[in-house]
Amino acid sequence: MKTLNISTRLLSEAVWRRIFDNAAPRYMQKRQSFFDLMASLDLLRKGAEYNTGSISTSSAWALYSVAGLFQPEKVLEVGTFIGKSTMAIATGMHDSGLQNGILHTCDLSNAIELPNTTNVKITQHKKTSSTEMFRQIQLSHNNKHQFQFIHLDGRLQNDDIPILAKICSTDIVIALDDFEGFEKGTFNFANMQAANILTDHILIYPPSEALLRDFGFVDHSTTALLLHKNTIDFTPQ
């Protein structure tokens, strides 16, 4: 018997539609305060030692929606900068009703203090490389496979992946910024794949512009996801 093939493009469309549909009630209630918060974070650029790019409006909403849907209790991030992604994820966790969430975020070149408006315990590892942060966490968490969501908005270093494999749960949700062309998102994906730690994860491309337009966004997003097959359920309706 033959099998039914579903392309990555088609699956990605379905996954993002489901993620944004799930967040739609919160979009109606929270969008003003959420996008006001994102805009206020732009003011932190004046304190940057390395003034670089931040995430787009639709990527911020995508991260908020992913965090709200999966409700991870323990989160990692590489690349804090002005904290739009950090606060999008933390706000998504908070607004979903999650209690006791923690989030560790690092930035090699910046030390910008973020205003935390959520119940998530955010630990900023300022002027700290991903390798240093992962090593500290490995020591303090005794190698337990605990972290359930990671956002990568910096370049993974050579030593990072073996440590990540020890501190992350096997079904971790991975969000990759800049997943296009020869940008860091595609490199991070290729490096993790080469290290053989993604055998049961499925690549979800960034949401298409057409889908983003349906949900009222006029910019574009380069946020891809890697979802473990156990984090997707097929339902009858």
| Residue number closest to ligand SAM, CB atom | 154
Instruction: State in angstroms the smallest separation of the CB of 77 from ligand SAM.
Output: 7
Q: Distance between the two ends of the chain, CA-based, in angstroms?
A: 26
| CA pseudo-torsion sign 109, 107, 206, 115 | negative
The Cα–Cα gap between 223 and 136 comes to 27
Looking at beta carbons only, is 214 or 219 nearer to ligand SAM?
A: 219
- Could you say whether residue 118 binds ligand SAM (CB under 6 A)? no
Residue 14's contacts (CB-CB under 8 Å, 6 or more residues apart) are: none
- Could you say whether residue 54 binds ligand SAM (CB under 6 A)? yes
Which listed residue (34, 67, 70, 107) binds ligand SAM by CB under 6 A?
Answer: 107
Which listed residue (154, 185, 206, 207) binds ligand SAM by CB under 6 A?
Answer: 154
- Could you say whether residue 92 binds ligand SAM (CB under 6 A)? no
The Cα–Cα gap between 229 and 59 comes to 23
- Of 13-21, 151-159, 165-173, 193-201: span binding ligand SAM (CB under 6 A): 151-159
- Of 1-9, 27-35, 67-75, 148-156: span binding ligand SAM (CB under 6 A): 148-156
Which listed residue (47, 53, 162, 216) binds ligand SAM by CB under 6 A?
Answer: 53
Instruction: State in angstroms the smallest separation of the CB of 93 from ligand SAM.
Output: 16
Closest listed residue to residue 145, CA positions, set 206, 76, 91, 192: 76
Which listed residue (52, 123, 143, 170) binds ligand SAM by CB under 6 A?
Answer: 52
- Could you say whether residue 62 binds ligand SAM (CB under 6 A)? no
Looking at beta carbons only, is 109 or 116 nearer to ligand SAM?
A: 109
The Cα–Cα gap between 151 and 74 comes to 12
Which listed residue (153, 176, 197, 222) binds ligand SAM by CB under 6 A?
Answer: 153
Inter-axis angle of helices 130-140 and 160-167, nearest 10: 30
The Cα–Cα gap between 69 and 2 comes to 34
Return the structure tokens found at 58.
């639709």
